[in-house]
Amino acid sequence: MIEVNDIHKSFDDAHILKGITTSFQKGKTNLIIGQSGSGKTVFLKCLLGLFTPEEGTISYDGKIYNDLTDAEKRDLRQEMGMVFQGSALFDSMSVEGNVKFPLEMFTKQSKSEMQDRADFVLKRVNLVDAHHKFPSEISGGMQKRVAIARAIVMNPKYLFCDEPNSGLDPKTAIVIDNLIKEITEEYDITTIINTHDMNSVMEIGEKILFLKDGLKAWEGTNKEIFKTDNETVTDFVYSSDLFKKVRQMYIEERN
Amino acid sequence: MKSLILKEIDELIFGSLGIIIFISFFIGAVITIQTALNLTNPIIPKYLIGFTARQSLILEFSPTFVSIVMAGKVGSYITSSIGSMRVTEQIDALDVMGVNALNYLVFPKIIAMLFYPFAIAISMFVGISGGWIAGVFGGFLTSADFVEGLQLDFSPFQVTYAFIKTLVFAFVLATVPSYHGFYMKGGALEVGKASTTAFVWTSVVIIVSNYILTQLLLGQ
Ligand SMILES: Nc1ncnc2c1ncn2[C@@H]1O[C@H](COP(=O)(O)OP(=O)(O)OP(=O)(O)O)[C@@H](O)[C@H]1O
Ligand SMILES: [Mg+2]
């Protein structure tokens, strides 16, 4: 579980995060939505410790980040996995090399143990015959899977995904969403996902945090987001006519 | 770490030998021909041609001029490879994992560049050979004259000076472009711009440190 208490983050004179308080449960897929530029990535990078908020605290299962020593911070980092918006695979390494990389850097496992673990996670993300290909030789959807495999290879307690299905076709996007959800439940991970994809919101949004202009504008579940009367949320979520109609039908059906 | 260093040695040193040998040979040849053509006064001994070739190659051409060329080749490779890792968030990925990205990416390059003086030694040798071939086969002087010139007033400290410079330039070649790649912001276009800026700054630092080192080591 991650608890965020009133964090602020600025760059020079631009105040990006203006005091966000929320919490993310273990074993659940937590989604962050909001317009482009609303501060989702900055917020996620604060959670990852890549950016330090000027004010406020973030705690990971009770451990407050700012109170940790450098060594403890490093240990905490190793409990985090991250899937970047553009996958961020190391393009000088093969798929297998990418997945093994954290193991080589941080564990004392033997070669065969690493191989087993890499085989296992690659199989878990349904990639069986791409071990020796390079990132530039595989499709965007496959790259995302490799990125997920690399993020979970160290058995993280916290998994962060920045728009894991942007640039993917709707079908592959759902496959990736479901994969993340399954992994989250299977390994009881606290998972936080930035997304633009309303499909994801409806499908896997066990908790949704809606950011607007650096503030929390709404939070709730995917069931609640259907019913909410909060206009900023409905404006954003049901911005397309199709979604507006779907919502109308849903409300009529209920009445 | 060891395999990373070997990979960088392959890329930065062995990968540059071709161009280093190529330009050294022809510049050595041209220096010899130019000197020969300008020493028209019969009182001036022919062996001065070999002497001039040796001095200019060992003191300046191989350490300094080749390093400027390397600022283009090695420097732009370093800036663009690190810079593209920056823009595709690969450096963030290293940070998230808890890997010290700066250390991981730059240290192997600095170590690999410790072998740069070997490349420069090859440049000196090939340059002088080029001079000898052009001088002797071009009919400008005899082989004996050339060799006599090579040995004239030979001061081992000049070679030491050349290699001290080379080591400093090696460090500059590894670090200045790394800095420009690592701290760049933006996208693919900015990677190109960062490479150009890195080339300019690497050259400037090499030229200025060349002046300072020459004053310090050879000046009275
Ligand atoms: N390193 C940085 N330095 C300065 N400003 C930044 C930095 N990172 C982000 N910003 C600014 O913070 C604001 C929020 O950016 P952020 O990347 O968090 O948006 P986002 O919600 O993730 O958008 P998108 O959905 O397009 O990814 C933007 O105005 C951006 O210019
Ligand atoms: Mg973003």
Which regions in chain B score pLDDT beneath 70?
Answer: none
Topology at the third CATH level for domain A2-79+156-254: Rossmann fold (3.40.50)
Sorted by where each begins, the domain ranges of chain B are 2-218
Cα of A127 to nearest chain B Cα, Å: 21
For CATH 3.40.50.300, the residue range(s) in chain A are 2-79+156-254
pLDDT digits (tens, 9 = 90+) for A179-189: 899 999 999 99
Q: Does A86 touch chain B (CB under 8 A)?
A: yes
Q: Which ligand 1 atom is nearest residue A85's CA?
A: 27
CB of A38 shorter than 6 A to ligand 1: yes
H or E element at residue A8: strand A2-11
Pairing mode of beta strands A190-194, A29-34: parallel
What is the pLDDT confidence band of residue A118, given thresholds at 50, 70 and 90?
very high
pLDDT tens for each residue of B36-81:
999 888 888 889 999 999 999 999 999 999 999 999 999 999 999 9
- What does the pLDDT read at residue A229? 81
pLDDT at A253: 79
Average pLDDT, chain A: 90
Better-predicted residue by pLDDT, B220 or A116 = A116
Residues, CB within 5 angstroms of ligand 2 (ion): A 41
- CA-closest candidate to residue A160, choices B97, B101, B84, B85: B97
| Among candidate residues B175, B162, B157, B176, the one with its CA nearest the CA of residue B121 | B162
A30 bridge partner residues: A192, A207
pLDDT of residue B94: 93
Q: Is A31 exposed, middle or buried (0-12, 13-18, 19+ CB in 10 A)?
A: buried
User: For residue A244, how far is its CA from the centre of ligand 1 (angstroms)?
Assistant: 28
User: What is residue A121's predicted lDDT score, i.e. its pLDDT?
Assistant: 92
Task: Give me the pLDDT at residue A243, please.
Answer: 78
Residue A15, pLDDT score: 93
| ipTM of the complex in this document | 0.84
Q: How far is the CA of A44 from the centre of ligand 2 (A)?
A: 9
Interface test with B, best of A65, A73, A85, A92 (most B CBs within 10 A): A92
The predicted-structure confidence for A137-195, as pLDDT tens digits, reads as follows 999 889 999 999 999 999 899 999 999 888 788 888 888 899 899 999 999 999 999 99
Strand partners, A81: A159
Chain A CB contacts of B98 below 8 Å: 74, 77-78, 106
Pick the residue whose CA is nearest to atom 3 on ligand 1. Answer: A11
Contacts of B86 (CB under 8 A, 6+ apart): B181, B182, B184, B185
Give the pLDDT confidence score for residue A86 in this predicted structure: 86
Measured in Å, residue B144 CA sits from the centre of ligand 2 at: 71
pLDDT value of position A127: 87
Give the whole-angstrom CA distance, residue B192 versus residue B177.
12
* pLDDT of amino acid B174: 97
